[in-house]
Structure 1
Amino acid sequence: MVPRPHLSFEAQLVAGKSHEFGPISCPILPSPPSVPSGISNGKQKHEAELKYPQRIHRLNIFPPGKTEDLQPIDRFVVEEYLLDVLMFFNGRSNFQFIWPWEEWAFVLDLPKWAPQRVFVQEVLEREVRLSYWDKVKQSIENALGLEELLPPKGVPKLNFGAEDGKENNEHVLSGELNNMIKGKTPVREIISWIDENVFPNNGLEVTLRVVVQTLLNIGSKSFTHLITVLERYGQVIAKVCPDEDKQVMLIAEVSSFWKSNTQMTSMAIDRMMGYRLVSNLAILRWVFSAENIEQFHTSDRPWEILRNAISKTHNRISDLRKEILSLQKNISSAEEAAKGAKSELDAAEMKLALVDGEPVLGENPIRLNRLKSRAEKAKEEGISLQESLEAKKALIARAIDENEKHSYIAMEIDDRLILLYKSFSNVLSERLPQGSEVRTLRELKTAQVDVLAVDPEEEEPSSMELDNENQRPENRQPNGGRRSIAYNIGEKEQWCITTLGYVKAFSRQYAAEIWPHVEKLDAEVLTEDASPLLRSSVYSGLRRPINDA
C-alpha cells in the first residue's frame, strides 16, 4: 500500500547524472554549561523535542511473520496512515452503538478493579452521555449480564434526611428558598434571609446543604438550566462558601446530588471553577479525600474532575503569561511615549521663557504680538503635555502593578502542580512498599504488579501482544465468547498501578509546565525518602533519565 512512483523511472535514475551538494552550515549551538547536569540537559532536550517532536513508541500492530519483508520506511508510512485515520475519526465516539459486547461478557467474572472490567464500565458510561440509558441498554442485549456495569440512571438525588416520608426542617427551608427564586427575589434579599434566618438557627452544614441542593435541583433539567442558576445565584453560593474549607464541602454536596451522573458532576464543578465559586486547590483537596482515593482504580470519576481542573488551571497560566508579555510591551511603549512627551514639554517651556514676561526692547510690535500668541499657544500645549505625561506615568504604574500581580498569580498557580505531586506522594506512601523493599517495578512484579504500566526503560508493547502478560483470556469459545480466567493482581497492587499510571500521564501531558520547576519538585517531593516507583513514574512522564536521581 506504500506508493513507489520512482520504480517507473528506475532506469533513468540509474543512468542519470549525479549532482554534488554544496556545504551545509549548521546553526551555532548555545554554549553548554561548564558543569552539565541532568536537569539542564533534560530542559534542553525537552525544549528541542517541543520544536522537533518525535514518536515516543512504535505501533506494534503487526505479528512478526508479517514484518519480515517490511522495510523501515514502509512500516513508517503505514503507521502514519493508521495514525491519520485514528486522528481523523477521533471524536467522530458513532457506529450506531453496534459492538460485539458478547465477546466482553467475560469481564463480569473479573474483580471490580480489573482494568478490562473498568474499561467496559467507563465505555458504557460515556455511551450513555452520547445517547440515553435505555438505548445503551438495548445495545448490549446480546450480553445482558453487562447491564450490571451500566451506570445508574442519571437522576439527581435531593436528600435532606427525611424519615418515613415526612418533611423535616431542611425541606421547609428548601421550599422557602425555592419559592423566593420562583418569585424572582433579588439576590441581596436571599442573602439577608440566609444570614438572619437560616444560618443562625441551623448552622453551616444545614445551610450549605439547603442552599446548594436547592439551587442544583432547580438547575437539574439541563446543562443550560444549571448555567443559568449559577450565573444568577452564584453570589449566594459564594456567600455561603467563601473559603477553601467550605468549598470542599460544596464540591462534596455537588457530588452527592449528582451521585448517579458523573457528567453533570464534572460539568457543575468545572463551571463553578470558571465562576470562581471553587478554587483549583479545593478541587485538589476533594479529589484526594479518603472517599475518592478508594475509587482511583475502579472509576474515572475523580480523575475526570481532576483533569478538568488541571486543564483549566493550565489554560489560565497560558493566558496570564500572554497578558504579562503584553503588559511588558505596553510598559515599554508607555515609557517611550513618556520620554517623547517630556521632550516636547521641555521645548515648549523654552519657547515660553523667551517671550513670557516683559516685552523685549527693540522688537517689532507685530513680531512681538506674534511671539506672545505663540507663547500662549505653547503654554496651552505645555499644560496638555503635562497632563498627558501624568496620564502615561499612571499607565506605567498601573501596568507594572498588574504585571506583578499576574506574575504572582502565575507563580501561585504553578505551585499547584507541586501540591498535586505532594498529594500523589502522600497517598502512594501509604500503599507502596516501604523503605528499600522494592526499588523498581521489576522487583514489584513479584508482588503481582504489572511492570508495563509505568516502566520507562522498555518500549510499551501493543495490547495485541499482551494477551498473556495482562491476563487477557485469548481462547475463544465456540459461540464467539471468551473463556474466563481469574485476574491474579490484588486490589492494592492494582490501585498502585493505576495511580502511578496517572502520575506518569500528568507528567507527560504537563511536562512544559513542570520542567521550569523541576528543581523545586526534586527538593520538595522527589526526595531521598520518596518511593523509587513514584520517582520513576514522574521521570518517565518527563522523559528524564532515571539515573538523574
Structure 2
Amino acid sequence: MALRTLLVAGAKSFTHTLIALERYLEVLKKLATDAGDEAEAVMVSTAAKVWMNSPQRAAIAIDRLMGMRLVQAPAVVRWVFASRGMTSLADELAKGLAWEVLVNCTNKMVARASDEEDDLKAIEPAYEKAKDDAERAAKAVEEATMMEGTMEGRLSMLQERESMANIKFQEIKEDYDAKLASFRTAEELRDEHLTDVFRSYVDLLSPQLSEDDAGGEGAHPAWVEGALGSLRAFTRSYHIHVARIAAEILDSVLPEGSVHPLLRSTVEEKLYV
C-alpha cells in the first residue's frame, strides 16, 4: 500500500518521517479516503513498527497522524487494544507505547472539545450583546410606531437602526451557531472515544476473567492485573470528563450482572474520587 511505502521511506530519520507526512498530506488524505478504515489501521500499525525501538517517536508519529486528521480515534483505540503492549508485561517497549498512544489520543480528543468550548465562550458576549441590541432596536420602533406624533424622520431612523442591528445579529448568530455545532460535535466525539476505551477494556479482559472464574483460579495472570491497573489509571486520569457520561458507561458498557464484577468495581473505584 502506498501509505505504508511512504511511512517506511520516510523512516530514514524521524525528521524525514514528519517532513514526508507534511509534504504528501493531500495525497495521503486522498489515499486514506479511497482505502477507508484499512488505511487508518495501516498507518497506525506502520508508524508503530517503523519506530518500534523508540516508543516515544512512534507515539509522536501516531499523534501527528491524528493531528493531520489522517487517523481517527477509533482506529487508534483498535490498534492499542490489539497490540502486544496490552497483553504482555515482558515487552516494556510495547507496553509503554500502547499506554502513551492511548493517553495521547485521549488528550487530543479532550483538548479538541475544550478548544471548541473556549471558542464558543469567546463569542458568547458579542452574541448576547448583538441579540440585546436587536431586541432594543425592535422595541424602540414598536414604541415609536404606537406613539402619536412621532416624526416620520425619527421613525425612519429607528427602523434603519433596527435593520442594521438585525443584520449584525444574524451575522454573529451564524458564527455562534457554527461554533456551537462544532463544540457539540467535538464533545460527542470525545464521549464516544471514552466509551470506546472502556468497551475495549471489557472486550479485552472479560474472556480471561471468566475463564479464571470457571477454572477456580484464585489469581489472575500478570497481564490481566497489568491491564486492570491501566484501567484504574485511565479512569482516575479522566474521571472529570467521564463523569458526565458515567451513568451511560455503567449501564451500557459495564451493566451489573452482565460483566465481570471486577471490571465494574475497578471503574467505580476510581470514577468517583
TM-score (norm 1): 0.44
1:226–1:240 distance in 2 versus 1, CA, 3 Å: same
Distance in 2 (CA, whole Å) between partners of 1:246 and 1:238 is 10
SS in 1 for 2:4: helix
- Structure 1 match to 2:249: 521
- How much does 1:331 deviate? 3.4
- Structure 2 match to 1:416: 193
- Structure 2 match to 1:210: 5
- Structure 2 match to 1:503: 231
Amino acid at match of 1:221: S
Distance in 2 (CA, whole Å) between partners of 1:305 and 1:523 is 27
1:339–1:221 distance in 2 versus 1, CA, 3 Å: same
Aligned counterpart for 2:260 among listed residues 500, 525, 531: 531
Q: Name whichever structure is richer in helix by fraction.
A: 2
- Structure 2 match to 1:221: 13
Correspondence list, 1:91-490, <5 A: 206-214=1-9, 216-217=10-11, 220-223=12-15, 225-242=16-33, 243-289=36-82, 291-295=84-88, 298=91, 299-346=95-142, 356=152, 375=153, 379=156, 382-383=159-160, 385-434=162-211, 437=214, 446-447=218-219, 449=220
Distance in 1 (CA, whole Å) between partners of 2:42 and 2:14 is 23
- How much does 1:381 deviate? 6.5
1:526–1:408 distance in 2 versus 1, CA, 3 Å: same
Distance in 2 (CA, whole Å) between partners of 1:504 and 1:306 is 14
Distance in 1 (CA, whole Å) between partners of 2:48 and 2:173 is 46
- How much does 1:436 deviate? 5.4
- How much does 1:411 deviate? 2.1
Q: Residues 120 and 176 of structure 2 are in contact (CA less than 8 Å); yes or no, is this contact kept in structure 1?
A: no
Mark the runs of 5 or more structure 1 residues left unpaired by the alignment. Answer: 1-205, 357-374, 450-492, 545-549
1:516–1:435 distance in 2 versus 1, CA, 3 Å: farther
- Structure 2 match to 1:49: none
- Structure 2 match to 1:371: none
Distance in 2 (CA, whole Å) between partners of 1:506 and 1:261 is 23
Correspondence list, 1:2-21, <5 A: none
SS in 1 for 2:210: coil
SS in 2 for 1:431: helix
- How much does 1:289 deviate? 2.0
Amino acid at match of 1:207: A
Q: Residues 244 and 282 of structure 1 are in contact (CA less than 8 Å); yes or no, is this contact kept in structure 2?
A: yes
Amino acid at match of 2:80: V
Instruction: Report the RMSD for the aligned CA atoms in angstroms.
Output: 3.0
- Structure 2 match to 1:540: 269
Mark the runs of 5 or more structure 2 residues left unpaired by the alignment. Answer: none
Q: Residues 40 and 75 of structure 2 are in contact (CA less than 8 Å); yes or no, is this contact kept in structure 1?
A: yes
- How much does 1:347 deviate? 6.6
SS in 1 for 2:209: coil
Q: Residues 250 and 264 of structure 2 are in contact (CA less than 8 Å); yes or no, is this contact kept in structure 1?
A: no
Distance in 1 (CA, whole Å) between partners of 2:132 and 2:151 is 30
Amino acid at match of 1:411: E
1:227–1:290 distance in 2 versus 1, CA, 3 Å: closer
Amino acid at match of 1:253: T
- How much does 1:418 deviate? 1.0
SS in 1 for 2:53: coil
Q: Residues 209 and 253 of structure 1 are in contact (CA less than 8 Å); yes or no, is this contact kept in structure 2?
A: yes
Q: Render the CA deviation track for 1:314-355: whole Å, top value 9, x for unaligned.
A: 22232233334445444333311211232455577789x955
Q: Percent identity?
A: 23
Amino acid at match of 1:316: R
Q: Residues 341 and 388 of structure 1 are in contact (CA less than 8 Å); yes or no, is this contact kept in structure 2?
A: yes
1:387–1:245 distance in 2 versus 1, CA, 3 Å: farther
Distance in 1 (CA, whole Å) between partners of 2:151 and 2:243 is 65
Q: Residues 297 and 498 of structure 1 are in contact (CA less than 8 Å); yes or no, is this contact kept in structure 2?
A: no
Distance in 2 (CA, whole Å) between partners of 1:311 and 1:238 is 23
Amino acid at match of 1:538: V
Amino acid at match of 1:432: L
1:381–1:342 distance in 2 versus 1, CA, 3 Å: closer
Count residues in correspondence.
266
